[in-house]
Amino acid sequence: MGSKALLFGAISLIVGVYAISLKNVQVTGMQTAQSHVNRVQKERLVDAALSLALDDVQKNGSSSKTVTGRHALGGTIDYTVIHETGTTAEIDITVNVGGNGNGRVVVAQVEQAKKKSGFRKVHRGDWRVLSVFVKKG
Amino acid sequence: MTIFLDLAGSLIVRASMVTVMLGLTVTMNNALFETTQQTNAAATVATVGEIMYTDLNQTIANGVLASNPTMMQFKADTSMGGGNKATITYTATLDGTSGLYNLTRKVGSKTTTISNNLVSVQFQYVDTDGHATTTPSEVDGIRVKLVAQVSGVTQGFSTTLNDFKVFPPNLN
């Protein structure tokens, strides 16, 4: 009886220790995947924000304005249009996912010009994004 | 006579217990080792991908200078819009000894090896219509396929893949 208890105890201990270790490794793997998912979601949110802001500029002109608290794709979008000339503007965008305050700030230069845009180029009417950069935080 | 039989039986039972526990420990240890190696390899190749992804996203307009299956060179704004531009080159070279690819990242004149355990490296390029191209001026998107070897694992999941596409927003 004592031998059986010892055997089951030892096996339980071995299986338990390795199960915890395996779980920790899998959590690390999940975190790697999750960071990729977060990046993709923020990028989609930035694209959505650019579309929203450019839509605004196309409909209402490039006069300076600030819009806050727009919701899209499970995140929050704030943007400021800084009027430069009648055909160019700078758009500062802040996107937040999950409300953790860990936002991504993007600065885009936009222009009104009739040009063929690339595959990922965001455009609305004649307005298109000339350049877009994630601001160093 | 009975006492000897009891002793022998007891020894056999104890030996069996030790064998079962040792076998279990070895099996669990192998499983833990393989899973750890796979996770490490996946995390490493993901980090390499992140570096490439970030670099490629900073490519400036008409910035692709060379677009080959194992080498790409482009001009990027490394200050993220600040105006500091640098030429970045990614080159995959086959190491004859290990049979694996080394992937180097050259920024300006400084070269760094960012991976040395790649089974295969492929850079593919598409134009604005989504068609494959190798002409630098036509490139609108880049697909990167990195297959890394999982060190110490010979069967099952012995490699890990990172396959991603980048459409640099400032390229065209």
The CA dihedral of A71, A72, A74, A78, to the nearest 10 degrees, is -50
Longest C-alpha distance within chain A, in Å?
90
- A26 in contact with chain B, both atoms CB, cutoff 8 A: yes
pLDDT tens per residue, range B53-71: 989 988 988 899 999 999 9
Helix (H) or strand (E) holding A39: helix A2-60
What is the ipTM metric for this complex?
0.70
Of B162, B145, B161, B138, the closest CA to residue B67 belongs to B138
Listed by number, the residues of chain B in 64-83 with a beta carbon closer than 8 Å to a beta carbon of chain A are 77, 79-82
**CB–CB of B29 and A18 under 8 A?**
yes
Q: Answer yes or no: are the C-beta atoms of A109 and B169 closer than 8 Å.
A: no
Which residue among A3, A14, A25 sits closest to B13, beta carbon to beta carbon? Answer: A3
Out of A98-112, B29-43, B136-150, pick the least confident: A98-112
Q: Answer yes or no: are the C-beta atoms of B68 and B90 closer than 8 Å.
A: no
What's the gap in Å between the CA of B96 and the closest CA on chain A? 31
Q: What is the mean pLDDT of residues B107-131?
A: 92
Strand order of the β-sheet with B85-94 is B59-67, B71-77, B85-94, B101-107, B110-126, B141-149, B159-166
Query: Under DSSP, is residue B24 helix (H, G, I), strand (E, B) or coil?
Result: helix
Can you read off the two tokens belonging to residue B8?
């022998």
pLDDT tens per residue, range B74-110: 999 877 666 788 999 999 999 999 999 999 999 988 9
- B140 in contact with chain A, both atoms CB, cutoff 8 A: yes
Listed by number, the residues of chain A in 37-56 with a beta carbon closer than 8 Å to a beta carbon of chain B are 39
**CB–CB of A133 and B81 under 8 A?**
yes
What's the gap in Å between the CA of A70 and the closest CA on chain B? 23
Residue B31: list chain A partners with CB under 8 A.
18, 22
> Beta strand pairing status for B110-126 and B101-107?
antiparallel
- A115 in contact with chain B, both atoms CB, cutoff 8 A: no
- A36 in contact with chain B, both atoms CB, cutoff 8 A: yes
pLDDT tens per residue, range A1-42: 677 788 888 888 888 998 999 899 889 888 888 888 888 888
Of A59, A105, A110, the closest CA to residue A81 belongs to A110
Q: What is the mean pLDDT of residues B25-42?
A: 90
Residues 6+ apart with CB under 8 A from B28: A14, A15, A18
pLDDT tens per residue, range A44-89: 888 888 888 888 888 877 678 888 888 888 888 899 988 777 788 8
Q: Answer yes or no: are the C-beta atoms of A130 and B60 closer than 8 Å.
A: no
**CB–CB of B14 and A14 under 8 A?**
no
**Cα B88 to the center of its chain, rounded Å:** 19
**CB–CB of B170 and A133 under 8 A?**
yes
H helix runs in A61-127, sequence order? none
Q: What angle do CA B76, B163, B34 make, to 5 degrees?
A: 125
Q: Where are the domains of chain B?
A: 2-166
